[in-house]
Copies of this chain bind each other. A is one copy, B any other.
Amino acid sequence: MIIPGKYLLFLGDVADRLDAKTACGLLDWAPERCAGQWRLPSCGVDLGLEDMDFEQALAAGARTLVIGVTPFGGAIADSWIAPITAALDAGLNVASGMHRRLGTVPEIAAAAERSGASLFDVRVPGRSFPVGTGRKRTGRRMLMVGTDCAVGKKYTALAIARALTESGGKATFRATGQTGILIAGEGVPIDAIVSDFVAGAAESLSPDNDADHWDVIEGQGSLFHPAYAGVALGLLHGSQPDAIILCHAAGRTHVDGYPDFPLPELAECIEANLELARRTNPAVRCAGISVNTSALPVEERAAYLQAIGDRFGLPCFDPVATGADALVAHVAATFD
């Protein structure tokens, strides 16, 4: 699947930057492919990109309208259908990470048919996967696990893979969600896999590799999430991680969107993940803690990270604010 760029990022009418994860991820990790943004009048998010209509975007080199928002449940909102249809009629392709296929919306299918443009559904698995085997694979694997959804698992994996590569190591970012797939150009949309095959799909995502190669695997959900814990566990078992990295968002006290569900303590979350991960890799250990500190005052962030790092005796970093070099040094020192 090769999606023609540049991208025009569709933000719809989302109110919150957290709901524009895909657009933010593309802008941060593939800025050269982002031509501009397109928003409904009621949209509350501004990425700082130029607002463009479809003709302006085409003139600026855009070839594909990318649905840059990830609303709860992955549905295509009614209010998006008219602009998506208009984009197709203007000559843009459309790429989406929604659960529902673009082509199942009759107006969108008809517009794509009229214009000859392509529809890309990156969250729809393009193949089937076998049942998990539990067989140990060669090479090393590092999995991001979280206290919640949307705490920085993808950014952490991207930052670690980049830092490992820049330090001269062998590493591959393995995408498990729609944004990661759009950034990496490949991957498995793990939460869209039929549940019987999740662990098997995770096994397929990081096949046998060189002994000193790291697969750096984007995590999904959280073992403590009332809706998505099963996804997280299947990914954990199938990934067979040698190392887990706990990801957290500073200031988050409850599961996002679930006010009755407080987040676990970091230690509890690490221990629960290790205990379950040992089923497919008894040697698993926690190699570091990644915290999105953007909710903290700038002057408090370093001390906050330092305190957590000292408490656990592990590198604690913010993949955006500090980068992952400390983690890479720790991994180099502790995995010979």
Residues of A within 8 A of B (CB): 72-74, 99, 130-134, 190-196, 198-200, 223-224, 226-235, 237, 258, 260-261, 272, 275-276, 279-280
B228 to A196, Cβ gap below 8 A? yes
B227 to A132, Cβ gap below 8 A? yes
The docked-state distance in angstroms from the alpha carbon of A190 to that of B280 is 23
A226 to B99, Cβ gap below 8 A? no
A134 to B260, Cβ gap below 8 A? yes
A72 to B226, Cβ gap below 8 A? no
Q: Which of A133, A193, A234, A276 has the most CB of B within 10 A?
A: A234
Contact with A230, one of B133, B195, B227 (Cβ below 8 angstroms): B195
> Quick one: closest B residue to A221, CB to CB?
B196
Given A199-B228, A199-B229, 11 new contacts (CB under 8 A): A74-B196, A132-B226, A134-B227, A194-B194, A195-B234, A200-B227, A226-B237, A226-B280, A229-B233, A231-B234, A261-B279
A134 to B258, Cβ gap below 8 A? yes
Nearest chain B CB to A232 CB, angstrom units: 8
A133 to B231, Cβ gap below 8 A? no
> Which residues of B are found within 8 Å of A260, using beta-carbon distances?
134
> Which residues of B are found within 8 Å of A261, using beta-carbon distances?
134, 279
B199 to A226, Cβ gap below 8 A? yes
Nearest chain B CB to A135 CB, angstrom units: 8
> Which residues of B are found within 8 Å of A228, using beta-carbon distances?
132, 196, 199
Nearest chain B CB to A19 CB, angstrom units: 14
The docked-state distance in angstroms from the alpha carbon of A190 to that of B333 is 44
> Which residues of B are found within 8 Å of A258, using beta-carbon distances?
133-134
29 contacts between A and B (CB under 8 A): A74-B196, A99-B196, A132-B226, A132-B228, A133-B226, A134-B226, A134-B258, A134-B260, A190-B195, A193-B195, A195-B195, A195-B198, A195-B230, A196-B227, A196-B228, A199-B226, A199-B227, A199-B228, A199-B229, A199-B230, A224-B279, A226-B237, A226-B280, A229-B234, A229-B276, A229-B279, A230-B235, A231-B234, A272-B275
With A73-B130, A261-B134: A194-B99 Cβ-Cβ less than 8 Å: yes
> Which residues of B are found within 8 Å of A231, using beta-carbon distances?
195-196, 198, 230, 234
The docked-state distance in angstroms from the alpha carbon of A226 to that of B200 is 9
> Which residues of B are found within 8 Å of A73, using beta-carbon distances?
130-131
> Which residues of B are found within 8 Å of A130, using beta-carbon distances?
73
> Which residues of B are found within 8 Å of A198, using beta-carbon distances?
195, 230-231
